[in-house]
Chain A
Amino acid sequence: MSRIDCDVAVIGSGAGGGTVVAALAELARAGKRVILFEKGTKLDRSRFNGREVDMAELLFEAGGSFPVVDHSVTLAFSEGVGGSTQVYTGTSLLPPKRVIERWNLPGVDHADLCERAEAFRVQNNAHLLPGPDINDNNRLFQKGCEALGWHAEQFPVNVKGCKGSSLCNLGCPNDAKMGTQQVQIPAARAAGVELVTRAKVRTVRAGDAGGILDVEVSAAPHPHGKIAQSEWEPGRYEVHAHTVVVAGGAVHSPALLLRSGFGLDLPVLGRYWTCQPAHILVGEHDKPLTNAIGHPKSFLYDQRVAEDRYFVEACMYFPFVTAKNLTGFGPEHHRLLKAYERLQMILVLACDDALPDQRVTIDAAGEPVVHYKLMPPTITALCKATRAAAQIFFAAGALAVHAPSARPTLLTRADKDHIDARISERHFLPGSVSVSAAHLMGGCRMGTTTATSVTTPHGQVHGQPWLYVADASLFPTAIEVNPYLTVMALADHVAQAVLARESH
C-alpha cells in the first residue's frame, strides 16, 4: 500500500465536496496539498446522448432506482465528478427561514446561509428564465395556479447557454448546467487542488496528526462502456491528511463513517434520515404541448408547505421514467403513454419527518442499506399534494389526470368537483404506488451533543477535531425546498471552520 501525505482530503465532489474544495483553493495556492477524491469518473458532454438507459446506468447508482429495504421508495443519486449536480435541474432556492430557525443551531444563522447561497446563485449564473424560454408544460402549471388564485413562483435556475434540450436529469449535453463540475471544481483545480477519480475511500480513521484514509483506486472496466482512467495508478493507498472532509452525500457519508467504526461513539450516526419522497403526476390535454423541449422546471407552488407539508413543481420526465411512475399497467397505462406529447407533468413532494428509525446502515460488505418507511403523515402529505396537483391540471385545461392514490387512477373532468373524495390515503398502498426521492438528507445531523447529533454546528464530527462532514447528511430535518443551494451554503460554512483549523 502506497503512502500519500496531504493537508486536506475531501471525499466526494458533489454540491458539498465541490464547494469545499473551491473554498480551500486558497490553501492550495499557498502551497498546501488538497486532494479531492471521487468514487466515480469525470464525464464530458460527448458521453451525454440523452438516452434513458445509457445515462441512467452511467450517471446514477443502481440506475437511479436504489431501493430502500421495504422497496416502497427508490432513490436517485449520482456518482462521478459533480455528484448529483450533474443530474439536477439547477433549481436554485434559498433555505427557508422557518426550517433553519427550527434547527436552532448555534452558529448556523439563516441570514448567513442566505448570504452564502446568494453568492453561489451569482457564481452559478442562477437567473429567471425569460418568457420565450418557458415551455408549455411550465406555462400550464402557471396558468392552472393562476386560475385557482394560487401563487406559482418562478424560481431561478443555474444555466448558461441552455439550449432547452430538457435533458437536465440525464446530464446536460450542452454543458449548460452550472454544477460543481462546471464551476467550483475547475476553479479549485486551477488553484492547485488535486482531483483523483475512481477512488473509493473504504475507511477513514484517526492518525497521530489527523486522519488516515484507506483509498482504493479502481482500474476495473466500467460495466457501461469505456471511461477515463484515474489520475493515480490503480491500487490501494494510505492517505495521511491533517484534515478530512466527508462529502459523499446522505447515503455514502453515513455509510463511510459507520464502516469506519464511528457508530460506537455516535449513537445517532445514520439516523434521522429524510428524502422528501415524490410522485410524478400527469394531466392529459387535447393537443400536443412542448414538454420535452425547454428547461423542464421553472415554477413551484409551495404555499401549503408549512401547514400541509407538501410542495409541487412543474417537471418533465422521459418515457420510461414516466411509465414507471404511473401506477398500474395494461391498456389504460399504455394509452396514457401514447398521449406523451399531450401530457402535462407535475412533481409532488412531501416533507417527511426526521425520525430515529429512518436510517442508513451498512451490510456485511460495508455497503449502504437504507431503512425507510413511508409514514402515515408522509402519505397524507402526498395525497394532499396530489389533490392540489389535480386541481392545477384541471384548471389548466387537462381532460384527465392520473392520480396514483385514486382507484381507478384516472380522473376525468367529471371528477373535477370530487377530487378530495377520489384521492385517498386508503388507495395509497406502499409497494404498488411509485414513489421516488432525490432530495436525500440527514444521517450525520448537526447538533450540540453526541446523544442527538453526529457533528457540531460547524460540521466537525464530535470528538474528532480532524474530521468534518459537508453535505446534505448534515441536515437535522428535511429542508422543505430543493436542497442543492442550502448544501452549498452549509458546505461553505463548514469550509470556513476547516480553513480556520488549517491556518493554525
Chain B
Amino acid sequence: MAAAILTPLHDKLRPIAETMVPPIADLDDAAFLKVLALIDVRLAGEPPALGRQLRLFVKVLTFLPIFFALRTFGGLAPKRRLAFLEALQDCPIQKLRVGVWGLRTLIYLGYYTDPEVQAALGYRPRLDGWEGLAREKAQQAHEVHP
C-alpha cells in the first residue's frame, strides 16, 4: 500500500479538486478518497520532497485567499474559486504556475483514468480495434432490428 501523501489533506483538497474537475462534486467521500489514493500510488515512486512540496502547496492554496477575501479557499463561492486558481495559473511567478499545473494534472490522473469515467466520456480501449468496432455496430443493429 502506497504512503498517504495527499489523502490526509482530503478536506482541503476537495474544494480545489471540485473547482478543477466539476463532476468531482458528485463523488461521495469514498469515491473521492479513491481518486486521491490513485494519486498517492503515482507519487509513491517520487522523491519525498515532492510530496512535501505538494502538501505545502495545497495549504498555500487553502489559506492564501484569506489575504484577499478574508476567507479560506473552501469558503469562497465557486466562481471566485475558479477565478482565484485562474489568476494563479497566469501569474508572473513560474513556481506558482507550475504548482497549479502539477496539482491539476495529478487530479486529472486520479479522475480521468477511471475506466468508468473514460467510458462516460466516450472512450474505452478496444484491443481489437476495427474488428471490435464492427462487432459492436453489428450488435447494436441487431438490438434495433432483432
Residues of A within 8 A of B (CB): 48-53, 57, 62-63, 65, 70-72, 133, 162-167, 170, 173-174, 223, 288, 290, 292-294, 318-320, 323-324, 328-331, 333-334, 337-338, 340-341, 407, 429-432, 434
Residue of A50, A65, A223, A319 touching B121 (CB-CB under 8 A): A319
Known pairs A164-B130, A294-B130, A431-B94; A318 contacts B101 (CB<8 A) = no
Which residues on the B side are within 8 Å of A165 (C-beta)? 125-129
Q: How far is the CA of A319 from the CA of B89 in the complex (A)?
A: 22
9 contacts between A and B (CB under 8 A): A65-B105, A162-B129, A165-B127, A290-B133, A318-B118, A319-B117, A328-B86, A431-B94, A431-B97
Is B90 part of the binding interface, using a Cβ–Cβ cutoff of 8 Å?
Answer: yes
Q: Is the CB–CB distance between B23 and A334 below 8 Å?
A: yes
Known pairs A166-B129, A323-B112; A340 contacts B102 (CB<8 A) = no
Q: How far is the CA of A53 from the CA of B104 in the complex (A)?
A: 16
Residue of A164, A290, A330 touching B82 (CB-CB under 8 A): A330
Is B48 part of the binding interface, using a Cβ–Cβ cutoff of 8 Å?
Answer: no
Q: Is the CB–CB distance between A340 and B122 below 8 Å?
A: yes
Q: How far is the CA of A367 from the CA of B105 in the complex (A)?
A: 24
Q: Is the CB–CB distance between B121 and A337 below 8 Å?
A: yes
Q: Is the CB–CB distance between B129 and A329 below 8 Å?
A: no
Which residues on the B side are within 8 Å of A429 (C-beta)? 90, 94, 97
Residue of B89, B95, B130 touching A163 (CB-CB under 8 A): B130
CB proximity to A under 8 Å, residues B60-109? 82, 85-86, 89-90, 94-95, 97-98, 100-102, 104-105, 108-109
Q: Is the CB–CB distance between B21 and A329 below 8 Å?
A: yes
Known pairs A71-B98, A173-B127; A330 contacts B115 (CB<8 A) = no
User: Which among A162, A329, A341 has the highest number of chain B CB atoms within 10 Å?
Assistant: A329
Q: Is the CB–CB distance between B105 and A324 below 8 Å?
A: yes
Nearest residue (CB) in A for B128 is A163
Q: How far is the CA of A288 from the CA of B122 in the complex (A)?
A: 9
Which residues on the A side are within 8 Å of B22 (C-beta)? 330-331, 334
User: Which among B19, B104, B112 has the highest number of chain A CB atoms within 10 Å?
Assistant: B112
Given contacts A319-B112, A319-B123, 7 further A-B contacts (CB under 8 A): A174-B129, A293-B129, A324-B105, A329-B89, A331-B22, A333-B20, A431-B94
- Proximity string of chain B (19-33) to chain A, C-beta cutoff 8 Å, 1 when within and 0 when not: 111110000000000
Q: Is the CB–CB distance between B105 and A319 below 8 Å?
A: no
Which residues on the A side are within 8 Å of B5 (C-beta)? none
Is B35 part of the binding interface, using a Cβ–Cβ cutoff of 8 Å?
Answer: no
Q: How far is the CA of A293 from the CA of B127 in the complex (A)?
A: 9
Our count of residue pairs bridging A and B at CB distance below 8 angstroms stands at 131
How many B residues touch A, CB cutoff 8 Å?
Answer: 43
Q: Is the CB–CB distance between A340 and B121 below 8 Å?
A: yes
Nearest residue (CB) in A for B119 is A319
Is B140 part of the binding interface, using a Cβ–Cβ cutoff of 8 Å?
Answer: no
Q: Is the CB–CB distance between A293 and B130 below 8 Å?
A: yes
Q: Is the CB–CB distance between A432 and B121 below 8 Å?
A: no
Q: Is the CB–CB distance between B130 and A330 below 8 Å?
A: no
Q: Is the CB–CB distance between A164 and B129 below 8 Å?
A: yes
Which residues on the A side are within 8 Å of B108 (C-beta)? 320, 323-324
Which residues on the B side are within 8 Å of A432 (C-beta)? 89-90, 97-98, 100-101
Known pairs A223-B44, A290-B133; A53 contacts B94 (CB<8 A) = no
Nearest residue (CB) in A for B81 is A330
Q: Is the CB–CB distance between A329 and B127 below 8 Å?
A: no
Q: Is the CB–CB distance between B19 and A329 below 8 Å?
A: yes
Q: How far is the CA of A240 from the CA of B106 in the complex (A)?
A: 44
CB proximity to A under 8 Å, residues B1-56? 19-23, 38, 42, 44-46
Is B143 part of the binding interface, using a Cβ–Cβ cutoff of 8 Å?
Answer: no
Which residues on the B side are within 8 Å of A65 (C-beta)? 105
Within the complex, the shortest CB–CB distance from B108 to chain A, in Å, comes to 4
Is B113 part of the binding interface, using a Cβ–Cβ cutoff of 8 Å?
Answer: yes
Give 9 nearest A-B pairs by CB, closest first: A50-B125, A164-B129, A341-B122, A431-B97, A163-B129, A329-B20, A165-B129, A431-B98, A432-B97
Which residues on the A side are within 8 Å of B82 (C-beta)? 330-331
